[in-house]
């Protein structure tokens, strides 16, 4: 399976490059960032700290979708919207970890999902997804006299606040309460 990484020079992107490199049956198709990114043209493996892979970081998302069976996107909401359109055009599966999408951006994902496989999650951690289920269950059984509070703390460079995980916890609690 050929896997492309959007946001390949970011914190999560570097981890994904390394993971794809180690995954049996997976081939790194490439990685992209914005043209203005300081790492543009650098080797993806070197950026990820795993040694040269002879695959350069590029700004060409269209070419990445054309070369990939699936693209993993941990970028920004506006960029994810464009990637959803490219996924639909190329019939390339898209895995989205980007959070903070507005309704128009979410609508673009839903439109692309009519043409190709889309996987979207606020958090891909098994533990967090287990927690989401537990929060919904707790909210369902606890009386309304119990208040629900979510405290969301991150490093100072966190782009989206509140985080997608905090929002998902809020949605789980609301679903539990009905």
Cα end-to-end span (Å), the chain: 41
Respond yes or no: is residue 140 known to be catalytic.
no
Respond yes or no: is residue 158 known to be catalytic.
yes
Angle at 102 between CA 98 and CA 103, to 5 degrees: 120
- Please pick, among 37, 83, 154, 155, the residue that the annotation labels catalytic: 154
- Please pick, among 14, 83, 158, 171, the residue that the annotation labels catalytic: 158
Cα 1 to Cα 70: distance, rounded to the nearest angstrom: 8
Question: How many angstroms separate the Cα of 172 from the Cα of each of 5, 38, 63, 141?
Answer: 29, 39, 37, 13
As beta bridge partners, residue 93 has 70
**72: helix, coil or strand?**
strand
Residue indicated by tokens 């790194």: 28
Active site amino acids: 154, 158
């Amino acid at each position: 399976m050929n896997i492309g990484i959007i946001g390949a020079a970011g914190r999560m992107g570097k981890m994904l490059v390394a993971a794809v490199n180690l995954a049996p049956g997976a081939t790194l198709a490439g990685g992209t960032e914005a043209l203005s990114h300081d790492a543009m043209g650098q080797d993806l493996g070197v950026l990820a700290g795993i040694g040269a892979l002879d695959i350069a970081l590029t700004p060409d998302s269209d070419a990445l979708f054309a070369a990939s069976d699936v693209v993993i996107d941990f970028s920004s909401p506006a960029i994810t919207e464009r990637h959803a359109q490219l996924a639909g055009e190329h019939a390339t599966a898209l895995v989205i970890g980007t959070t903070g999408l507005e309704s128009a951006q979410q609508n673009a994902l839903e439109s692309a999902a009519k043409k190709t496989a889309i996987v979207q999650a606020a958090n891909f951690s098994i533990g967090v997804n287990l927690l989401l289920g537990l929060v919904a269950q707790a909210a369902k059984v606890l009386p309304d006299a119990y208040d629900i509070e979510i405290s969301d703390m991150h490093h100072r460079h966190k782009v989206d606040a509140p985080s997608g995980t905090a929002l998902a916890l809020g949605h789980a609690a609301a679903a539990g309460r009905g």
